Chain A
Amino acid sequence: AQSVTQLGSHVSVSEGALVLLRCNYSSSVPPYLFWYVQYPNQGLQLLLKYTSAATLVKGINGFEAEFKKSETSFHLTKPSAHMSDAAEYFCAVTSYSGGGADGLTFGKGTHLIIQP
């Protein structure tokens, strides 16, 4: 069984400030981890993914995330927030058991608010 916990349903930062969105996972096998972004009335878009090649993963739009096995965390960061970053962010986990076909387990999401 696997699960994802995203701390904070809403996070508010000022434009130009550091963005930190937290994600902790639980998995009985080595995980694959993903961050997705959802803009209003749209589907989910992949930001970045961890697949064991490197613990620090860089994604699109200046976001990156660091996999920390000892802390079972995969927090998402961006050095300087932009107004266009306002969206819903989801952390998700799957495993390579079953060939990776049995779907993603999502966190409840974090709504990122950017203040001017």
Chain B
Amino acid sequence: NAGVTQTPKFRILKIGQSMTLQCAQDMNHNYMYWYRQDPGMGLKLIYYSVGAGITDKGEVPNGYNVSRSTTEDFPLRLELAAPSQTSVYFCATQNAGGGNQPQHFGDGTRLSIL
């Protein structure tokens, strides 16, 4: 019953460093999403994917990249970390049955950039 697994749970980066946030799911959902959560701002969509090999930008994609080579994995890449990217990042999945399908969230990655 793993569901959506995000690694690492916590990370501190220095400005200009790069890293990849991992997201893996075992629910066989086609749709996957990356959100960032900032205090008092709700969640904002960074990127999403409707299947392997297909990705699209969300509301706040600048400074991030994604890839989707398998149904299970949807990593998020930060190339040049900036203080503005300090946030909590959530990965979510959704069944492809339509907009009435709920999203399932991982426990998040808490990222600080100093």
- The reply to whether B99 and A94 form a contact with Cβ atoms under 8 Å apart is yes
- The reply to whether B43 and A100 form a contact with Cβ atoms under 8 Å apart is no
Chain B contact patch, size range = 20 to 34
Question: Can you list, as one digit per residue, whether each of B97-114 has a CB less than 8 Å from chain A (1) or not (0)?
Answer: 111111111111000000
* 37-62 of chain B: CB within 8 A of chain A: 40-45, 48, 50, 56, 58
Given the known interface contacts A107-B42, A109-B40, A109-B42, the answer about A99 and B107 at a Cβ–Cβ threshold of 8 Å is: no
Question: Please, how many angstroms separate the alpha-carbon atoms of A102 and B33 in the complex?
Answer: 9
Question: Please, how many angstroms separate the alpha-carbon atoms of A94 and B102 in the complex?
Answer: 10
Question: Please, how many angstroms separate the alpha-carbon atoms of A42 and B110 in the complex?
Answer: 11
* 1-23 of chain A: CB within 8 A of chain B: 4, 9
- The reply to whether B102 and A34 form a contact with Cβ atoms under 8 Å apart is yes
Is B31 at the interface (CB under 8 A from chain A)?
A: yes
The A-B contact count (CB < 8 A) is: 74
* 83-102 of chain A: CB within 8 A of chain B: 90, 94-97, 99-102
Question: Please, how many angstroms separate the alpha-carbon atoms of A51 and B97 in the complex?
Answer: 12
- The reply to whether B42 and A90 form a contact with Cβ atoms under 8 Å apart is yes
List chain B residues, Cβ under 8 A from A94: 99
Binding site for B on A (CB under 8 A): 4, 9, 32, 34, 36, 41-46, 49, 51, 90, 94-97, 99-109
Other CB < 8 Å A-B pairs besides A94-B99, A99-B96, A101-B94, 11 of them?
Answer: A4-B42, A41-B107, A42-B108, A43-B108, A44-B103, A46-B102, A90-B43, A97-B99, A101-B31, A102-B56, A108-B40
Binding site for A on B (CB under 8 A): 4, 31, 33, 35, 40-45, 48, 50, 56, 58, 90, 92, 94, 96-108
